[in-house]
């Protein structure tokens, strides 16, 4: 009877460990997917905004170029370190990309307001 109980306990522990490991992998997959979605959204936004912002900002301070460089830095980081990065690190990188997208949105809003005041 004790061998049966011990075997049952070992099976239960193995199932619990397998479930935990699978969930951890799913969390990681979701974190990477969210990060890549943010990078894709930033890239799409930059493509749409490039001509408008460059026309206003010129070449001396180009927020589009800065944001593109940030996005490329984050994608390279993900490629090099994403496989062993913690969930917190992945979320931090995503937040950085989201902040770059927000900065571009702020620039576009300023352009829109400037155009509205000219009309």
Residue 7 covered by a domain = no
Residue 18 covered by a domain = no
Residue 21 covered by a domain = no
Residue 48 covered by a domain = yes
How crowded is the C-beta side of 20, counted as CA atoms within 13 Å? Answer: 6
Residue 101 covered by a domain = yes
Question: pLDDT tens digits for 4-35?
Answer: 676 766 777 777 777 777 777 788 888 888 88
Domain that residue 63 falls in: 27-118
Model pLDDT, residue 61: 61
Give the integer Cα–Cα distance in Å for 38 and 100: 10
Residue 93 covered by a domain = yes
Residue 74 covered by a domain = yes
Give the integer Cα–Cα distance in Å for 16 and 103: 44
| DSSP-derived 3-state class of residue 58 | coil
Model pLDDT, residue 54: 67
Residue 9 covered by a domain = no
Residue 58: pLDDT over 70? no
Instruction: Measure CA of the first residue to CA of the last residue in the chain; give whole Å.
Output: 88
Task: Quote the tokens at residue 4.
Answer: 């049966």
Number of domains in the chain: 1
User: Is this model's pTM higher than 0.75 or not?
Assistant: no
């Amino acid at each position: 009877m004790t061998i049966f109980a011990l075997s049952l306990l070992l099976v239960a522990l193995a199932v619990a460990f397998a479930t935990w490991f699978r969930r951890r992998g799913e969390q990681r997959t979701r974190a990477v997917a969210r990060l890549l979605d943010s990078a894709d959204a930033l890239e799409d936004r930059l493509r749409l905004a490039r001509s408008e912002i460059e026309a206003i900002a010129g070449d001396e301070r180009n927020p589009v170029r800065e944001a593109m460089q940030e996005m490329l830095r984050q994608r390279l980081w993900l490629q090099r370190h994403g496989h062993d990065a913690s969930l917190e690190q992945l979320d931090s990188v995503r937040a950085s990309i989201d902040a770059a997208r927000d900065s571009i949105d702020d620039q576009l809003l300023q352009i829109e307001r400037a155009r509205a005041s000219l009309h």
